[in-house]
Amino acid sequence: MELVIIIGIVISFLATWLTTRKWIRKAPEIGILGFDMNKPGLPKVAEMGGIGVVFGFGTAMLLYIGLITFYLEKSNYVSILAVLCTVLISCIIGMMDDLLGWKKGLRQWQKPIFTFFAALPVMVINAGQSTMNLPLIGSIDFGILYPLLIIPIGIVGASNVYNMVAGYNGLEAGMGAIILSTMGYFAFISHSQNAMILAFCMVSALIAFLYFNWFPAKVFPGDTLTYSLGALVACVAILGDMERMAIILFLPYALDFAMQAAGGFGKEAFARVNPDGSLEKPYARLFHLTHLAIAVLKRLKAKVYERDVVLLLCGTEAAIAGLCIYIY
């Protein structure tokens, strides 16, 4: 079984790396490009790079299912197929948003409706445990309300808020790798095999993608990846009985949501770029987590660059992950 898991992780990395490399060359030919908003001159970069990540992840998961079915003669893969369907539907929703453009994409009220349909595969198999341990509340058995209410709220909420902390080279993939590595580790020590393989295969794909997405990026993840990642985090939490941990790991996203709500969700996360590539707050007030990061960094150093913002936010997420490891 260990060999099968390792094969899945390796295939996820290789398939993502090869597909993303091909996509970077193909995207300009078909006009799927986006402006790198945090750099002088706003250079154009390949968009919708999440296609490569989801393809690599999906290929690895199908191979894993095939190996445990025909080689190990096991059949405990229904939940994996359901999660894979959820990720693919989320990916399609993200592609729609990307193709329409970030200015003319899906409206805010439409996104929860579309992502609700992505939650259906996990709802209909009644995945997870109906009893949850919540912060400050304790253990609650939701019964039938768990698949009918908690699962869709989790998947819709996670996919949408994950899409909000974005727009900086390496940020989305970096944060996702940290979150899923933490959840994969806890799935491993709690013997939740399906949650573990889902988490680690996506981490492997994200590491391959980061090779091309790190500053200066050759490809953007797009909503194609952010919706898929958010939905997957929720699914791993459901399968591995890690809802409370997921809530803690998503604290930066909750803060960003609150900051955006204060601004009426009408402000962009991008910074104001100086000719030398350093960044400034785009508004007098702080409307995004990235704006807060720039404000904090400006107190520590004279010039703040995109890489600094990403490292601070990923470092903060890593610290929260470390806190989870310590607590649990």
- What does the block give as tokens for 128? 């997870």
Amino acid at 69: T
Q: What is the pLDDT of residues 195-221, one digit of tens each?
A: 999 999 999 999 999 999 999 999 999
Above pLDDT 70, what percent of the chain?
Answer: 97
Residue partners of 286: CB distance under 8 A and separation at least 6 = 259, 292, 295
pLDDT single digits (tens) 285-305: 999 999 999 999 999 999 999
pLDDT for the residue numbered 104:
65
**What is the per-residue pLDDT across 250-283, written as a single tens digit (0 to 9) for each?**
999 999 999 999 888 888 899 999 999 999 999 9
For residue range 13-50, what is the model confidence (pLDDT) as tens digits? 999 999 999 999 999 999 999 999 999 999 999 999 99
pLDDT at residue 109 in the model: 78
Q: Please give the pLDDT value at position 70.
A: 86
Task: Provide the token pair at 246.
Answer: 């997921």
pLDDT value at 137 more than 80: no
Residue 135, pLDDT > 70, answer: no
pLDDT tens readout for residues 68-122: 888 876 767 899 999 999 999 999 999 999 988 655 667 777 889 999 999 999 9
Report pLDDT for 100: 83
DSSP letters for 54-71: HHHHHHHHHHHHHHHHHT
HEC secondary structure over 189-251? HCCCHHHHHHHHHHHHHHHHHHHHHCCCCCECCHHHHHHHHHHHHHHHHHHCCCHHHHHHHCH
Asked if residue 112 has a cis previous peptide bond (ω within 30° of 0), the answer is no
Per-residue pLDDT band for 51 (boundaries 50, 70, 90) equals: very high
- What pLDDT shows up at residue 235? 98
Q: What are phi and psi of 216, to 5 degrees?
A: -80, 130
- The reported pLDDT for the residue numbered 105 is 65
What is the average pLDDT across 125-148?
Answer: 86
- For the chain, the C-alpha Rg in angstroms (whole number) is 19
pLDDT for residue 103: 57
pLDDT digits (tens, 9 = 90+) for 113-134: 999 999 999 999 999 998 887 6
Instruction: Using the predicted structure, report yes or no on whether residue 306 has a pLDDT greater than 60.
Output: yes
Q: Are 171 and 316 in contact (CB under 8 A)?
A: no
pLDDT of residue 138: 75
Instruction: Give the confidence band of 57 by pLDDT, cuts at 50, 70, 90.
Output: very high
Q: List CB contacts of 94: < 8 A, sequence separation 6 or more.
A: 50, 163, 222, 223, 224, 225, 226, 227, 228
In the predicted structure, residue 2 carries a pLDDT above the cut 90:
no
Residue 102 pLDDT: 56
Number of H helices, E strands in the chain: 13, 6
User: Over the stretch 155-195, which tens digit does the pLDDT of each residue have?
Assistant: 999 999 998 999 999 999 999 999 999 999 999 999 999 99
Reply yes or no on whether the pLDDT at 139 is more than 90.
Answer: no
